[in-house]
Structure 1
Amino acid sequence: MEMVIDGTWQAATEGETFAVLNPRDGSVVDHVPLAGPQDADRAIRAAETAMAGWRVTPMTERVAVQKACAQAMRDRAGEVGALLHAELGRPLMGCVGEILRSADLLDIYAEEGLRLVAEMPLGSAPGERIIVTRDPVGVVVAITPFNYPVTLLMFKLGAALIAGCAVVAKPSEDTPLSTLKLAEVFHDAGLPKGLFNVVTGKRALGEALVAHKIPRKIAFTGSVPAGKAIAAAAAGTMKRLTLELGGHSAAIVCADADIDKAAAAIARHGFANTGQFCYRVNRVYVERPVYDAFLRNLSDRASALTLAPAGGDGDLGPLVNEKILAVSERQVADARARGGRILTGGARPMGPGFAGGHYFPPTVVAETTPEMLLMREETFGPVIGVQPVDSAAEALRLANGSEFGLAGFVFTHDLGRGLALCEGLEAGSVWLNDIQRSSHHVPFGGVKQSGLGREKGRYGVEAYLEYKTMYLSWEVPA
């Protein structure tokens, strides 16, 4: 596939390409352009030209276009989902589900656009008025990761478009195909050319996009080191930032919790997408009276999950590449060396259907300690560490003893204790007694080194708008 710039398929200026691989077996799915600074400039200038007309397009028309794009996503979810399945390895139904859920977010952003208003304070003198309005921030660069490439792009694209901005998207080099196909879907649905450009490449391309003088905002989801580098580079041109930089989310299981429900929620959430998402449960702190019972329940649920081999079906797909897989292997080896007990999983499967892919089974590690890599560093894989604690207060201290602050989870029958723990957790989102998907209507983002800013709902749209104050004066008739 080629890139999408100004509504047309285009090759890289230098003509180079790179392969997109299937993580189930290492086969080549397709090739995409290896873009560089000249391609970044072409895409950004196309976005700037397109935005001049889009920013003055009436909101009702923007909403109609965005809703048409959302419906087109639903109509072609199987087509886009098949590409996502091929490049990410996740089971097909999960990939189609991502497309459908992302379409819902696009609709929600469109509806939030209709709620945007200007204000006119009433405290002015006769012949004077002040209007506080909102302008689109400008051309947006959206840089997205591999794990949920469509959803995490919609976090940014849907909000930017409805706010009146144009977007240049750089998808992960591991999963660019679904984003490229999505651009085709949007243009077929009537999105004006130049508003959604997709350029494919590696680090040099990202650096060129961030450093370019025209974009006014960078929206990025990815690692902490990459986010810090983007923030430093963006400071040179005072670009606005939304950074979602991952997490190392903790769950607290109190002695009075419903152990079956807690284990079910943690297994479902911690191993979804083979552990490849930012706000998954990475570590669990369990009060000692229920520690053994919780371990049995969680490990039974983990061992019941199946891996989907190349050409076969199962609950979980492979990890996206060897680098991501190596993190899980390294953390499990470190935990074992430090006295951790591997209850299930822990070793890379081999044999037919697995040998050529990046597979790692759902893994539960007991008797973990704060010194272990698993309890300190983001895994981004299907490994959960469990540590016994003597009190909820100790669990809270350990949960907060992290540089991350994206999500937290609490399980207890005592509502007062639960609310106190939720309020005490240093995290952008906290769940009590169950773990649902993050809602499209409320803000999503983290504190500490988990990032800057919020996405989703009206909070996401506001991140792509700038306040403007206009002072009006006129002659008052005598």
Structure 2
Amino acid sequence: MENFINGKWTKPQSGNYGNVSNPVTGKVFDKVPHSNLDDVNAVMDAAHEAFKKWKKVPVAERASLQHKGAQLMRDHADELGNLLANELGRPLDACIREITRSADLTDYYAEEGLRLKGEIPLHNIEGERVMVIREPIGVVVSITSFNYPIALLTMKLGAALIAGCTIVSKPSDETPLSTMRLAELFSQAGYPPGVFNVITGRGRDIGDAMVTHKYTSKIAFTGGTSTGQRIGALAAQLGKRFTLELGGQSPVIVCADANLDIAVPAIVKHTFANSGQFCYRVSRIYVHQDIYDEYVARMTEETKKLTIGNQFSGCDMGPIISQKIYKTSEEQTADAKAKGATITTGGERLKGAEFEKGWFFPPTIIADANHSMEIMREETFGPVAAIMKFKTNEEAIALANDSDYGLAAYVFTGELGTGLRIAEELEAGSVWVNNIQRSYHDVPFGGVKQSGVGREKGRYGIESYTELKTIYYSY
């Protein structure tokens, strides 16, 4: 594939390409550009020119186009899902669900954009009015991680487009193809050239240039904490807006009166979805001492039921995307074991003909954990979870908050008041009590501490792509 710039496929001025491989087989099945600074200038120029007209398009027309784009996502969900399954290795059904769910979010943003309003304060001064209006912020650079390429993009794309911004997307090197095809579909929906562009390349080659470019008004980033910190620092120096959705090390507290028939399946499902490769997965589990042994036994049993294989086999889990990401799971498991933890299931790379060409790490449970272990302090981004016992709810809250991260947290308890009190005490952008659902489209999503800056989804997400302007009008 080529870069998608100004409504057409465009060969990179660098002349260089990189491979896209199937993480199950290791087989190369496509190539994408390794762009350079000339390519960055070309795509930013296109987005800047398109913005001049796009910002003046009535919101109702933008919403109509956005609904058409969302419908095309549904119409091509099987195609996009297969692309995503091949480049990511996630089971096909889950990939198709990502596409349809992202289409729902795109539709939601279209409708929510129609409800944005300004205001006129009632100062009651004769011959004068003051108006507060919202204007689109400008050209948005979207930089996203490999793990949910379409979901993470549409969290930014749908908000930016309905607000009147144009967007330049740089997807991950590992999973760029689904994003590139999505841009083509939006062009088919009727979006003007230059409104939605995609450029691929290595971050070290073009990342800084995209962030600091004179036409960049906002950077919307989802990815690793260290990279996000660098982007935030560069953007702040130049007065550019940014939203950062960064790493997570999400805790769950299982109180003594928790219903384990609900807690165990919910935690297992959320911990090991997408082979553990997402930022708000359960990483560390604090269980009251009175039910600790039972909980460990039941979670281990439930985890052993998960199946691992290739993305088209109907399994529960596929491989980890790359050796680099895989390495963390292996190292953190070894660290915990060396410090006295017990591995109740998993813990070693899977072997055999089916697994030899991919980075397959089994769903792994680490019992008898403590905060000296890396698994309790650092992000894993893999199918490993650790369990630690606690005596009091106050102790559990302190342990859960003893982290540099604060993206999500979870509580299971039989007493509603206890659940609400713990939720209020936990330092996280989102807290689930007595179940774990996907994050809803109409409420904000984002983190505190080192887990990010700003919020996505809901009207909050759209507002972050606008600037407030105050107009003083005398007559």
Q: Which category describes the TM-score, using the shorter chain as reference length? A: over 0.9
Provide the residue aligned with 2:444 in structure 1.
Answer: 443
Whole-angstrom distance in 1 between the partners of 2:97 and 2:189: 20
Correspondence for 2:7: 7
Q: Does 1:338 align with 2:339?
A: yes
Aligned residue in 2 for 1:26: 26
Deviations 1:237-296 (A, max 9, x none): 211010001110000000010012111110010001110100000000000110011111
Q: Which whole-Å CA distance do the structure 2 matches of 1:432 and 1:310 have between them? A: 32
The aligned counterpart of 1:101 is 101
Give the structure 1 partner of residue 80 of structure 2. Answer: 80
Instruction: Give the letter for the 2:441 counterpart.
Output: H
Alignment-mate amino acid for residue 384 of structure 1: A
Map of 2:364 onto structure 1: 363
The separation in 1 between residues aligned to 2:123 and 2:178, in whole angstroms, is: 52
SS in 2 for 1:80: helix
What is the letter of the counterpart of residue 314 of structure 1? C
Q: Deviations over 1:27-81 (max 9, x none)?
A: 1020000001111111111001111111010111000001100001000111111
Q: Distance in 2 between matches of 1:119 and 1:225?
A: 39
Aligned residue for 2:272?
A: 271
**CA distance in structure 1 between the aligned counterparts of 2:97 and 2:289, rounded to whole angstroms:** 38
CA distance in structure 1 between the partners assigned to 2:32 and 2:192 by the alignment = 23
Name the CA distance, whole Å, in 1 between partners of 2:311 and 2:93. 16
Which residue identity does 1:289 align to in structure 2?
D
The residue number in structure 2 matching 1:427 is: 428
What is the deviation of 1:377? Answer: 0.4
For residues 175 and 181 of structure 1, what CA distance do their matches in structure 2 show? 12
Equivalent-residue separation in structure 1 for 2:313 and 2:462 (angstroms) = 41
Percent identity, please.
Answer: 53
Size of the alignment, in residue pairs? 474
| TM-superposed deviation, 1:235 | 2.0
Matching of residue 391 in structure 1 with residue 392 in structure 2: yes
Shift of residue 353, structure 1, vs aligned partner: 1.2
Partner of 2:192: 192
Report the more deviating stretch, 306-315 or 118-127: 306-315
Matching of residue 119 in structure 1 with residue 119 in structure 2: yes
Checking the alignment, whether the CA contact within 8 Å between 1:261 and 1:434 is kept in structure 2 is yes
Query: Which residue number in structure 1 is paired with residue 69 of structure 2?
Result: 69
Q: Deviations over 1:198-250 (max 9, x none)?
A: 00001221111012111110000011100111011112321101000111000
Is the CA contact 2:24–2:89 (under 8 Å) kept in the aligned structure 1? yes
The one-letter amino acid of 1:235's match is A
Task: Using the TM superposition, give the Cα deviation of residue 392 of structure 1 relative to its aligned residue in structure 2, in angstroms.
Answer: 1.2
| Aligned counterpart, 1:90 | 90
Provide the rounded CA distance (Å) in 1 between the counterparts of 2:156 and 2:312.
34
Q: Deviations over 1:377-396 (max 9, x none)?
A: 01100001000111111111
Matches within 5 A, 1:408-427: 408-427=409-428
Distance 2:64 2:315 in 1: 39
| 2: CA distance, partners of 1:462 / 1:310 | 37
1:340-364: CA deviation from partner (whole Å, max 9, x where unpaired): 1000011111111100001111000
TM-score by length of 2: 0.99
Displacement after TM superposition at 1:310 (Å): 7.1
In the alignment, structure 1 residue 130 sits paired with structure 2 residue 130: yes
Displacement after TM superposition at 1:374 (Å):
0.3
Q: Which amino acid aligns with 1:249?
A: S
**Equivalent residue runs for 1:89-238 within 5 Å:** 89-203=89-203, 204-238=205-239
Counterpart CA distance in 2 for 1:120 and 1:285 is 50
| CA deviation after TM superposition for structure 1 residue 313, in Å | 3.7
- Matched AA of 2:253: I
Partner Cα distance (2:419, 2:257) in 1: 11
Q: Which amino acid aligns with 1:242?
A: T
**Secondary structure, aligned partner of 1:131:** strand
Q: Secondary structure of the residue that 2:61 maps to in structure 1?
A: helix
Which is worse superposed, 302-311 or 345-354?
A: 302-311
- Cα distance in structure 2, aligned partners of 1:453 and 1:400: 20
SS in 1 for 2:216: coil
TM norm structure 1:
0.98
**In structure 1, distance between residues paired with 2:27 and 2:392:** 50
Counterpart position of 1:44: 44
Measured after TM superposition, the shift of residue 114 of structure 1 is: 0.7
What residue is the counterpart of 2:317 in the other structure?
A: 316
Q: Does the 8 Å contact 1:152/1:221 carry over to 2?
A: yes
Determine if contact 1:213/1:237 at 8 Å carries over to the other structure: no
Amino acid at match of 1:367: D
- The CA distance in 1 between the partners of 2:379 and 2:289, in whole Å, is 25
Q: Which letter does structure 2 place at the counterpart of 1:74?
A: R
Q: Which amino acid aligns with 2:181?
A: K
Match of 2:377?
Answer: 376
User: What is the letter of the counterpart of residue 343 of structure 1?
Assistant: T
- Distance in 1 (CA, whole Å) between partners of 2:260 and 2:113 is 43
Q: Distance in 2 between matches of 1:233 and 1:29?
A: 35
Find the residue that maps to 1:216 and give its secondary structure.
Answer: strand
Partner of residue 403, structure 2: 402
Contact residue 92 and residue 311 of structure 2 kept, 8 A: no
* Displacement of 1:311: 6.4
Pairwise CA RMSD of aligned residues? 0.9
Deviations 1:292-338 (A, max 9, x none): 11111111111100101376441111111111100000000001100
Write the distance in 2 (CA, Å) between the matches of 1:419 and 1:94.
Answer: 31
In structure 2, the residue matched to 1:349 is: 350
Q: Matched residues in 2 for 1:310 and 1:411: separation?
A: 32
Structure 2 runs not aligned, ≥5 long: none
Amino acid at match of 2:428: A
2:250 is the alignment partner of 1:253: no
Aligned 8 A contact 2:143 2:222 in 1: yes
Matched, 1:468 2:472: no
